[in-house]
Amino acid sequence: MPPTASRVTTAVTTIRPAVVGKLNERQVLRLLQTRGPMSRAEVARESGLSAPTVSKAVASLLKAGLLEEADAPELARGRPAPRLRLATSSTQVFGIAIDVGHCEVVSAGLDGVLHGDTLKVPTPGTYPELIDVLEDSLRELMAKPGMTTLGCGVSLPGLVDFRKASGVLSPNIPMTNGHSPAADLARRLGIECTLLQESHALCLAERHYGLARGLDDFAVLDVGAGVGLGVMLGGRLLKGNSGLAGEIGHVTVVASGGRKCGCGNFGCLETVASDSALAYHASRKLNRAVNADEVIELAKSDAVDLTAELEEIAGYLAIGAAAVVNLFNPQVVFIHSPLLDIDPGLLVRVVERVGQRALPPTFADCRLLRAEGSKCQGAVAGIIQHLTDAVAPDVV
């Protein structure tokens, strides 16, 4: 019997050229997002890609509308090479922040820089009216001559199921329950739209345009009409099984005798540590209904004395922030709240109380800062990320 021939196994690559091309596009795009405008030669040098590879990736990104070329500053000698940058002069994306009293709409370039002022529209009473109002606002911005619109990000409060891209439970804007404003606007306008939970939007805003640039582990405590929490761990948003993680506002902090929350329970954190909580106290003092937007202006103008009530809110806010510090051990906890506009010293007092409640080693390893990003900026960051992933995914 002849000797058995040895079997030689040859490794066969399964990486297709198209996949490699997309990865190259991703690398070029990310380099320009982090470093700003660069020439093709600079992109090749910094990325380690060959000049032909860079040219091919750039051509694809220019065609997709994600990049544009701009003239470089004139040099003493020679003709300056054109510089590549994220599309902004003739390309726009939209950011929408849906909230209780009003909605905000912005236009921005792919560099995240806003085009003009923020458009504010009152939040209507029904969902069909909401979509009508937002559609009208966006069509007005889309009509700008010479501007191409690539997409829109929508920030929504409450529980958002990212698998279904729809609102699930919004105690403060229940008309959005079971609906997807992003999908409905996409159908009406014919552009790409993506839906973000508002605390997640704030995380993206802070990481791309605020104080969290370069941080991989941080949290954003959003204190508005309700109380939400966004957490970035290892550079990724903590979403949970279906995107519903972070609802710290519905943790019970008043075990007995607490007010009823919009979620149906009693004594939730947001009933004692939010704009709505302050509005509740103001309404009782003034014997008339005061909403969350109005109470901020009343308190800032000293039209009603809410000093004691604000201190009580600060105490409960510290309880929530201390829980975040203990649970997630973040580098920074950012607090996003118009309540901080009322009293410049409020954040200092909250930090002091957090120090009294959080575990000392964990608190010593964390800073508490006021957030700089906005929900509209987060919505813009969300649609830019969505468009980037569509053209050049992280994982293909």
| pLDDT (average), residues 53-77 | 81
Give yes or no for a contact between 202 and 373, defined as CB atoms under 8 angstroms apart.
Answer: yes
**What's the CATH architecture for 213-371?**
2-Layer Sandwich (3.30)
- Greater confidence (301 vs 186) lies with 186
Residue 396: is its pLDDT beyond 80? no
Residue bearing tokens 């002091």:
352
Give the list of residues 6+ apart from residue 141 with CB closer than 8 angstroms, or none.
Answer: 92, 94, 105, 107, 119, 149
DSSP state of 332: E
CA 194, 198, 199: angle at the middle one, nearest 5? 125
Q: Up-side HSE of residue 147: CA atoms within 13 Å toward CB? A: 20
pLDDT band at 17 (very low <50, low <70, confident <90, very high): low
Residue 213, classified by CB atoms within 10 Å of its CB into exposed (0-12), middle (13-18) or buried (19+), is: exposed
Give ranges for CATH 1.10.10.10 in the chain.
Answer: 17-86
Measured from the Cβ of residue 76, the count of other Cβ atoms closer than 10 Å reads: 4
Residue 393: is its pLDDT beyond 70? no
Q: What CA–CA distance (Å, rounded) separates 152 from 183?
A: 10
Give ranges for CATH 3.30.420.40 in the chain.
Answer: 91-203+376-391, 213-371
CA 170, 175, 180: angle at the middle one, nearest 5? 80
**What pLDDT shows up at residue 77?**
55
Write out the DSSP string of 162-229: TTTTEEEE-SS-GGGTT--HHHHHHHHH-SEEEEEEHHHHHHHHHHHHSTTTT-SSEEEEEESSSEEE
**What pLDDT shows up at residue 395?**
45
The model's pLDDT over 142-180, given as tens digits with 9 standing for 90+, comes to 998 989 999 999 999 999 998 889 999 998 899 999 999
**What pLDDT shows up at residue 12?**
45
Write out the DSSP string of 93-126: EEEEE--SSEEEEEEE-TT--B-SPPEEEE--SS
pLDDT band at 216 (very low <50, low <70, confident <90, very high): very high
Residue 13: is its pLDDT beyond 70? no
| pLDDT (average), residues 111-129 | 93
Q: What mean pLDDT is reported for the chain?
A: 89
**What pLDDT shows up at residue 366?**
97
CATH node for 17-86: 1.10.10.10
Residue 310: is its pLDDT beyond 90? yes
Measured from the Cβ of residue 344, the count of other Cβ atoms closer than 10 Å reads: 8
| DSSP-derived pairing of the beta strands 332-336 and 218-223 | parallel
**What pLDDT shows up at residue 7?**
45
Q: Up-side HSE of residue 377: CA atoms within 13 Å toward CB? A: 17
| Tokens linked to 94 | 């939209």
Topology adopted by domain 91-203+376-391 = Nucleotidyltransferase; domain 5 (3.30.420)
